[in-house]
């Protein structure tokens, strides 16, 4: 089975050489190292420089930085310059992780700041003609609304606007996201014991828009629960989703790898 992990985070303490070796041994042909903060962006860049044929990157400013950058006039221009500069050395395939995360204690000010940062990066991605890696938690309506307003119309028309990473939404959301040219990143959550509803939804998602991801070092799938997640673990997620769609693991791995290459132009 060949696979492509479309969403993995790395930090300065990640044993990257060991993880890359295990990923290759497990059949992986590529990884998208995803940023979201200054540290994660830097780690993604460093990893891509170390493994240029294996690792592509996505750079962005995630929602938890929204208040910090609310008054900044330089954050987005600086991110753009970083993407353009780094893109001369490594493969920058997307903008992200970006998006919205509304918890019970998220204030109106925080929501407004998240929406502002998200919309600005959607516009940046459109300007750079790059797909986006979107986080969506408790904010389905606002995510869809902002994507429709600020997302790249060109990439929408090409059906490669981006991916709803770590997809956990319902079928109605998925239908609207599909119409906008978005893909669905399926993480280890789909293997969890209490994820029957998600499995039912994933079984109905269109195959041509499915991707496999880890969100490492988080969300290790069954049977690796309790361990720091790493790209090689995505094979368990892939096996689960392949079964939901009645496909062989090899066929599913090839399909989702091709989906990843199409979306991220790799």
pLDDT, tens digit, 9 for 90 and up, residues 147-206: 999 999 999 999 999 999 999 999 999 999 999 999 999 999 999 999 999 999 999 999
Is the model's pLDDT at 13 over the cut of 90?
no
Contacts 24+ apart (CB under 8 A), 258-262: 259/183, 259/208, 259/209, 259/210, 259/211, 260/4, 260/6, 260/30, 260/32, 260/211, 261/4, 261/30, 262/160
> What is the domain extent for residue 118?
3-263
Averaged pLDDT for residues 202-214: 98
pLDDT score, position 242: 98
Into how many domains does the chain fold?
Answer: 1
Averaged pLDDT for residues 221-235: 96
Averaged pLDDT for residues 224-245: 97
Can you tell me the distance from the alpha carbon of 131 to that of 158, in angstroms, rounded to the nearest whole number?
Answer: 11
pLDDT score, position 64: 93
Mean of the per-residue pLDDT values of the chain: 97
pLDDT score, position 15: 85
Is the model's pLDDT at 39 over the cut of 90?
yes
Which residues, in sequence order, are CB contacts of 143 under 8 Å at separation 6+? 99, 100, 118, 134, 136, 164
Q: What is the CATH number of the domain that holds 249?
A: 3.20.20.140
Instruction: Report strand pairing: 182-186 vs 92-101.
Output: unpaired
Q: Provide the whole-model pTM.
A: 0.96
* Structural contact between residues 211 and 163, judged by C-beta atoms closer than 8 angstroms: yes
């Amino acid at each position: 089975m060949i696979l492509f992990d479309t969403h993995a985070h790395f930090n300065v303490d990640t044993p990257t050489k060991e993880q890359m070796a295990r990923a290759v041994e497990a059949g992986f042909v590529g990884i998208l190292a995803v940023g979201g903060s200054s540290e994660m962006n830097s780690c993604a860049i460093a990893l891509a420089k170390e493994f240029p044929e294996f690792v592509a990157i996505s750079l962005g400013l995630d929602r938890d930085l929204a208040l910090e950058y609310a008054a900044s006039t330089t954050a987005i221009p600086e991110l753009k310059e970083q993407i353009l500069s780094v893109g001369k050395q490594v493969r920058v395939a997307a903008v992200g992780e970006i998006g919205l995360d509304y918890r019970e204690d998220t204030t109106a000010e925080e929501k407004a700041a998240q929406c502002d940062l998200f919309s600005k990066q959607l516009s940046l991605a459109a300007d750079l003609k790059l797909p986006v890696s979107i986080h969506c938690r408790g904010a389905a309506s606002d995510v869809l609304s902002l994507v429709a307003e600020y997302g790249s119309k060109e990439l929408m028309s090409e059906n490669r606007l981006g991916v709803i990473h770590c997809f956990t939404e319902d079928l109605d959301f998925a239908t609207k996201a599909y119409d906008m040219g978005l893909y669905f990143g399926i993480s280890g959550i789909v293997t969890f014991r209490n994820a029957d509803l998600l499995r039912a939804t994933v079984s109905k998602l269109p195959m041509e828009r499915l991707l496999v991801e880890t969100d490492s070092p988080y969300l290790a799938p069954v049977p690796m629960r309790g361990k720091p997640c790493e790209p090689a673990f995505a094979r368990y997620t892939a096996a689960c989703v392949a079964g939901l769609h009645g496909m062989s693991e090899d066929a599913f791995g090839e399909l989702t790898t091709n989906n990843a290459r199409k979306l991220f132009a790799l």
